[in-house]
Amino acid sequence: MAENEKIFFLAPLHIKRKEDIADIFGVKPDTVTEWAKAGAPIFLVGNRYQTDYHALVEWLSKNRHVFKNLSSPPLPPL
């Protein structure tokens, strides 16, 4: 590898609150609950919804049918 080459890895980003998931994805907290009910990789741990950012982005991109009024899911930059 050349001296000036850099390698970037996409590390999982664990999001630990429904409100944080909603803020990051630009939706309301109720939408996060609906995504979880629809099978998104959002899990209730104790009394908190949690997810892995990259897993949720992948799920959203593959499950556009979950969105009633959107032409595509909100996908924040990686």
Token match 């630990």: residue? 16
Residue-wise pLDDT for 31-48, tens only, equals 899 899 889 999 999 999
Domains identified in the chain, total number: 1
β-bridge partners, 44: 49
- The two three-digit tokens of residue 13, written as one number: 């980003």
Q: Classify residue 44: in a domain, yes or no.
A: yes
pLDDT tens sequence across 2-32:
566 655 555 558 899 999 999 888 889 998 9
Domain containing residue 25: CATH number: 1.10.10.10
pTM: 0.70
pLDDT on residue 78? 47
pLDDT above 50: residue 72: no
CA dihedral 32, 71, 73, 77 (to 10 degrees): -140
Q: Is residue 74 part of a domain?
A: no
* Domain hosting residue 37, numbered range: 14-66
Residue 72 lies in a domain: no
